[in-house]
Chains A and B, each alone.
Chain A
Amino acid sequence: MKILVAVKRVIDYNVQIRVKEDNSGVVTDNVKMSTNPPDDNAIEEAVKIKEAGKAKEVVAVSVGEEKAQETVRKALAVGADRGILVKVDGVIEPLAVSKILKKIVEKEKPDLVFMGKQAIDDDCNQTGQMLAALLNWPQATFASKIEVKEKSLEVTREVDEGLETIEVNVPAIVTCDLRLNEPRYASLPNIMKAKKKPIEQISAGDLGVDVKSRIEQIKVEEPPKRKAGIKVASVEELVQKLKNEAKVI
């Protein structure tokens, strides 16, 4: 089996983002970037399946600017065999990303495509499902457990009410939840080895995909600030305030 894993370069999850003064977006210059956290789970799962002898090759793909190469390289350092970078400038919507990934799938012919369930920058939660639709493949979203069977996967999904289990035929798309596994850290020797692994660079234009935005971003604003609260000295005071001041109990 061959597994394609899509990874996205985003602002690091620990960074407190800032809105640009002209409200045109979020400041990304000189901000720490890293792999979208659930994409790390996607890579980890693919590598684990390969280590269990159930997959032959893991290919990491990213769609983004030149620097997204770092994100692909990181995937190579934790066990992906080779990488693909589809270069696009500026913001790209999930619909366009899924069209690009469809082209890559047609070329690479993987049996499975993994990715994180959601990117923590635009919080869209769309790309995996869209790719599944375009390929007419089954989708298993929010996966917290994957069992590889002969010609299918049994996937446990995290849903609002608890857990749901579905079986999807291969080829399939799986979007990964944070509890799927514990992503490993890249060891220094593996980081060095990853530098020698190939990354193929393609431009979105060469794939013939229209990446123009369909959605117009009119403005980006800070959320309304909460007014500063107070510290209470004791539990008694807290209960008294909740009862008589906030009137919520």
Chain B
Amino acid sequence: MSVLLIAEHNNKEVKPFTLNAISAASQINEDVHVLVIGSNSEEVAKSISQVPNVKKVINVNNPIYENYLAENYTSVIIKLSGNYSHIVCSANTFGKNLMPRVAALLDVSQVSDITKVISEDTFQRPIYAGNAFATVKSNDKIKCVTIRPTSFDPAPTSGGSAEIQNGDAAEATEITKFIKKEEIKSDRPELGTARVVVSGGRGMQSGENFKLITAVADKLNAAIGASRAAVDAGYITNDHQVGQTGKVVVPDLYIAVGISGAIQHLAGMKESKVIVAINKDGEAPIFSVADYGLEADLFDALPKFLEELNKLNTIQK
């Protein structure tokens, strides 16, 4: 049997996390089919057909899929589900919204947010904000699985030539209507995939003070993150939140500034390769996960940090 992977895209480009999900899918079974549901999304289907791990692309185009709605996607997936042993997608807000709706209609108990594929039916997943890992075996006939993207490398995007097959649209939903999406555009690397992340917490004291973070992030070509406390306080928008209920990031370098290190924040960043903590409270829990801790007032330390960075001849990008 084969794996059906649901692609996330904007009708022009595939979203990066779909590539991570493809890697995980091909560990489950080599016969990976990718379903692209959209409107004039032929380019997306074409680019996915070039991913070497993909064996087939099913492209469903209809104006009703101009914007993603779980209700609409689900009807298409259910129609195709009989041919597959697994239905998978990325465990971000796209996949988290979609997969349970599919699973319930198939009467399947979903396995969410896997971090490891152990076999076709057995997976590892974090529970309690990553403070424990459960190994679970799904006994359902079809397995519905969402994949934590940062736990798998993205699949390569060239070299493949999968067949593209057109699929049929399903009936359009009348109970839900898309109104608008306010995307926050930025020239920075995306938080979920950036090599370096600089995050600010409640210690920043104001949104205005985040310019100190921005200056360092500019220098390091980093994404900007934030703790839930900083987002709740209105210092920065929600799309920057790192944590159990925000984004999970695994950069090479994570710099936590003025973040105490609540359990739910640590859940989103403690797998980072190198962690730096700058905090004036030497007892802050963030120091327990930091490779390099600097006990200092961030308002002194950040300008100095930038100064020192400026002295370096080269900085990795």
Contacts and interface: CB of A to CB of B under 8 A. Distances in A.
A16 B134 contact: no
Interface stretch (B24-32, B95-103, B161-169): B95-103
Interface in A117-174: 117-118, 120-134, 137-142, 144, 154, 157-169, 172
B152 interface: no
B247 interface: yes
A95 interface: yes
Interface in A21-47: 26, 38
B127 A178 contact: no
A138 B263 contact: no
B292 A229 contact: yes
A14 B264 CA distance: 9
B129 A246 contact: no
Contacts of B294: 231-232, 234-235, 238
B308 A239 contact: yes
Given A95-B108, A248-B273, A142 B136 contact: no
Contact of B309 (A93, A131, A239): A239
A170 B309 CA distance: 55
Contacts of A129: 70, 97-101, 104
A230 B293 contact: yes
A196 interface: no
B47 interface: no
B100 A126 contact: yes
Contact of A161 (B74, B184, B295): B184
Interface stretch (B34-42, B50-58, B172-180, B200-208): B172-180
Nearest to A141: B97
Interface string B287-315: 10111111110000100110111001001
Contact of A236 (B101, B181, B237, B308): B308
A170 to B, nearest CB: 9
B214 interface: no
Interface string A105-119: 000000000000110
Contact of A241 (B126, B135, B292): B292
A162 B253 contact: no
Given A230-B293, A238-B294, 9 more contacts: A126-B100, A129-B99, A166-B177, A166-B179, A172-B175, A215-B111, A216-B137, A217-B136, A220-B127
